[in-house]
Amino acid sequence: MKNRMKKYLIPILATTVVIGGGYKIVNAANQESAPAITEEGEQAEITQQDIIKEDEATKIALEQVPGTVKKVELDDENGSLVYEFEIISGDGQEFDVKIDALTTTVLKVEADDIDDDADDEKEEAALAKQVKVTKEEATKIALEEVPGTVKEMELDDEDHLFVFEFEILSKDGKEYDVKIDAQTGKVMKVELDDEDEEDED
């Protein structure tokens, strides 16, 4: 059986786009609030102010698992907005942490399945130790390049080069891929998403 997801209208940006599952972001300039009808016939209303900031969610997640944020994503999960984190702890263990984006409730703290491959464990530990640019610093740099909303962020290892990869929804509703060197803070890439490029054509 498929999960039934409530749909909400969230007035945040200056265009209409869809993220995650059933959450719709609508024109904030022309619409003060936008109640939506759920599948059960109920009305639900969410504004940008209702959603906690990513920095606040990150702080809560790191209180649960001190370490380095590898990835964070704002997602629609069965009708609820949640921040999903992948965090590498100080000893190299990877954890999944979920935070309710409206209430700040910690929904999940779970260690990933232990991988018997020692090389993978060493790689994760190295990733946590070698990063010099913090996630907050990288986010600031990325948003200076493309002002908007961070849709997804991931810390990755590309041929032994550590990079922060961002998906950013700009204020005009276009999605950009931004890549930041995690050791120097240098902007390596700012690119319009392929789908948005096709729309422009």
The number of residues in the chain equals 201
Q: What is the pLDDT of residue 118?
A: 53
150 & 193 share domain: yes
Query: 21 vs 74, which has greater pLDDT?
Result: 74
pLDDT digits (tens, 9 = 90+) for 12-53: 333 333 344 444 444 344 444 334 334 444 445 666 667 888
Confidence of residue 134 (pLDDT cuts 50, 70, 90): confident
How far apart, in Å, are the Cα atoms of 190 and each of 92, 158, 165, 167, 173? 30, 17, 10, 10, 16
Q: What is the pTM of this model?
A: 0.51
When pLDDT is averaged across residues 173-181 and rounded to a whole number, the result is 94
Strand partners, 70: none
Please give the full DSSP string across 123-171, using - where no structure is assigned.
HHHHHHHH--S-HHHHHHHHHHHS-EEEEEEEEEEETTEEEEEEEEEET
Q: Which residue has the higher pLDDT, 112 or 40?
A: 112
For residue 79, what are the contacts with CB-CB under 8 A and spacing of at least 6?
Answer: 3, 4, 5, 6, 22, 38
Question: How much is the pLDDT for 173?
Answer: 87
Domain residues for the domain of 185 are 131-201
Same domain assignment for residues 44 and 57: no
Domain's final residue, options 116, 144, 172: 116
CB atoms closer than 10 angstroms to residue 193: 15
Q: Identify the burial level of 14 via C-beta atoms within 10 angstroms of its C-beta, where 0-12 means exposed, 13-18 middle and 19 or more buried.
A: middle
Examine residue 121 and state whether it is found in any structural domain, yes or no.
no
Domain boundary among 71, 87, 116: 116
User: Which residues in 54-63 are b (16+ Cβ under 10 Å) and which e?
Assistant: beebbebbbe
Residue carrying the six token digits 């959450």: 23
Residues 94 and 147 in one domain: no
